[in-house]
Amino acid sequence: MTRAYIAPVRFYIVIACVLLAFGVIAGRLFYLHVWEQDRLLRILERNRQKFEVVAADRGDIVDSRGNMLATTRSVVELGVDPQMVKEEDLSKLPELAGILNEPLDVLSKKVKTKVRYVDGPDGSEIRLVRWVELADAIDESTYERILDLGIRGVYGNQKFERVYPSGALAAHVLGFVNKEDVASMGVERTMDFYLRGQHGWRESERDGRRRELAQFRSREVEPNNGFHVELTLDLMVQHIIEEALKQIEEKYAPKGATIIVSEPSTGFILGLANYPSFNPNEFWKYPLDTHRNRAVTDVYEPGSTFKMVPIAAVLNEGLVTLEDTVDCSIQTVEYRGYPVKLPKDHRPFDTLTVHDIITKSSNRGVARLAMLVGNEGLYDYARAFGFGESTGFDGIGEVNGMLHPVQAWDGLTISRMPMGHAVGATPMQVHYATSVIANQGVLMEPQLVRRVFDDAGETVLYFNPHAKRRVIKGETAKKVAGLLADTADSGTAKRASIPGYKVAGKSGTSQKIINKQYSHSHHIASFSGFFPADRPRFVITIVVDDAEVPGTAWGGLVAAPAFKRVAEALIHYYGIQPSEGPNKMFAWKGKRYDSI
């Protein structure tokens, strides 16, 4: 038996390779455990530590009767860690795709993509993919079904999602909370301080599989949930006016429209709606233009609805009586030493009483009345009625409108402003100017929020009605209300009248400015009024932008009928007794009360 011969060179090469390998391992161990010890320990501690924010539950928003308008639900954001998915679990992907209602090829790509390439300082780098979103928000029952599949690496994180149960109803009032959990508009934003609450947090440790080790929690702060907000809004009233907007849309195809309903004595807004609108549950699917609350952002010339201001001014100052007459056939008059050309009327008039100037809506007549109070007087009354300033609406984006100071007036302003030109107003300003007449001469501040309350229903903060100022005497308001009632009964707004009920209001028609000049084919039609005229319960304002009708889109033709439809629905909903006929009585608990 012979011994195998091993060449010395080969032997030494093998020994050198083995020693080199051990040397590299030893060097690597020295580098990791000695040289990089501090840095790697920090990374290890950071990976073991688990800091988790415990989100507070955002408060609910309800209407004046407790109906839910906005609430928060718990959902799960589903994702996958491709590094943890086992090969044998890939056969379960078709079932997962069915639950998520997602194409199998798309889902497979997300699960199987384990690395990604990113641009680094030294060129392109390869990084491991540790999280891919599979679904933004799924309910907990669906999440349980997914967990039952047993796919390792597929897991979810709980989060809260804002939900609006009534969909698009009252969208411009409520606003929405965006995907970054930021309140973006409406009551959601203005009352965010009370609604959002205060997040809590907890600090603990997790094992190698990223599972929390609850026994090692070192700090934990419980969240404080947000308060709830009760609005002055009535869900049924809101539904009524949004149905009216749908009818306006179907019949006239306007560029936009607004309806506002409020209580004159409190300023409480019972309903506010705009067309076009959006669904706050899916706000990202709608153009930004639909998010605009036209009631407070859109400025237009109010037209004849403004005539209540100069007529209230001359009556309040005692300059005329309702029986005084004015020659409305004159085209030019002298005012403060210079001739002023009067505006045209929609039809020729001769001599009219002050009463008929309003009921027949004479532009020349109201211009001559305004000249009695003068530039300064007309400006002061317009300002007192709320034009040219914020109404104080509980919302975002309100503008002040346009009311030029007297120093900026030209020679025609005194004759044009009384008919609602040379002044810019929002629908909200016109609405609350009308409320002055309905509220015995007092201007109220618009109010959307009634109170803030906690989970037990206890009131935390109550918002009382706020009267801004007295504008005219109560006696003057009563006279103007009578004029507006006659306007709706037998004047230019007859289409707003309701048999058995006294309606007071004024229609308005203004030409839109197209290419820097007044258009004869584009108009804004409006009607603002209240009922019952002798004991006002509701103020209703309707503004329709550019209705598609043959000829002129008169306010009495387009907006007044919508006023009637809304008012009739309110009569049925609130059981309002007729203004005419015997005063009915009803019994309750053995007593008798006058019907309201």
- Give the CA angle between residues 18, 20, 23 to the nearest 5°: 110
The answer to whether 133 touches 79, Cβ cutoff 8 Å, is yes
Before 223, cis peptide (omega within 30)? no
Domain identity same for 499 and 517: yes
On average, the pLDDT of the chain sits at 87
Domain stop point among 231, 253, 284: 231
State the Cα–Cα distance between residues 403 and 421, nearest whole angstrom: 10
What 3-state class would DSSP assign to 352? strand
Residue 581, pLDDT score: 46
pLDDT at 596 over 80: no
Domain identity same for 481 and 437: yes
Given the DSSP bridges, would you call strands 132-138 and 61-62 parallel, antiparallel or unpaired? Answer: unpaired
Between 175 and 156, residue with greater pLDDT: 175
Residue 254, pLDDT score: 96
- Residue 28 in any domain: the answer is no
**Which of 191, 183, 230, 186 has its CA nearest to residue 67?**
230
Domain identity same for 482 and 559: yes
- Residue 538 in any domain: the answer is yes
Calculate what percentage of the chain has a pLDDT beyond 70.
Answer: 88
Residue 3, pLDDT score: 60
The answer to whether 132 touches 43, Cβ cutoff 8 Å, is no
* Backbone conformation region of residue 441, classed left if phi is above 0, alpha if psi is from -120 to 50, else beta: left
The backbone torsions φ and ψ at residue 183, rounded to the nearest 5 degrees and listed phi first, read: -70, 125
Which residues are 586's β-sheet partners? 593
- Give the CA angle between residues 546, 543, 567 to the nearest 5°: 135
Domain identity same for 519 and 465: yes
pLDDT at 123 over 60: no
pTM of the predicted structure, to 2 decimals: 0.82
| Rg for the chain, CA atoms, rounded | 36
User: In the predicted model, what is the mean pLDDT of residues 331-338?
Assistant: 92
pLDDT one-digit tens code per residue, 177-207: 998 889 989 999 999 999 998 877 666 666 6
* Backbone conformation region of residue 420, classed left if phi is above 0, alpha if psi is from -120 to 50, else beta: left
Residue 276, pLDDT score: 96
Tally the domains of the chain: 2
- Residue 151 in any domain: the answer is yes
Residue 301 domain boundaries: 235-305+374-585
Domain identity same for 217 and 293: no
Sign of CA dihedral 20, 23, 24, 25: positive
> pLDDT category, 208, cuts 50, 70, 90?
low
For 564, the token pair is: 């009637």
The answer to whether 40 touches 28, Cβ cutoff 8 Å, is no
Domain identity same for 298 and 393: yes
Domain stop point among 194, 211, 231: 231
The backbone torsions φ and ψ at residue 332, rounded to the nearest 5 degrees and listed phi first, read: -135, 135
pLDDT one-digit tens code per residue, 429-460: 999 999 999 999 999 999 999 999 999 999 99
The backbone torsions φ and ψ at residue 518, rounded to the nearest 5 degrees and listed phi first, read: -65, 130
User: In the predicted model, what is the mean pLDDT of residues 326-344?
Assistant: 93
The answer to whether 551 touches 261, Cβ cutoff 8 Å, is no
Domain stop point among 200, 231, 262: 231
Residue 52, pLDDT score: 61
Domain identity same for 193 and 251: no
Domain identity same for 179 and 301: no
Q: Which helix (H) or strand (E) holds 227?
A: none
- Whichever domain contains 160, its CATH number is 3.90.1310.10
State the Cα–Cα distance between residues 203 and 463, nearest whole angstrom: 40
User: In the predicted model, what is the mean pLDDT of residues 521-541?
Assistant: 95
What 3-state class would DSSP assign to 521? strand
State the Cα–Cα distance between residues 586 and 18, nearest whole angstrom: 108
User: In the predicted model, what is the mean pLDDT of residues 309-317?
Assistant: 97
- Residue 342 in any domain: the answer is no
pLDDT one-digit tens code per residue, 559-595: 999 999 999 999 999 999 887 644 333 333 333 323 3
Domain identity same for 537 and 427: yes
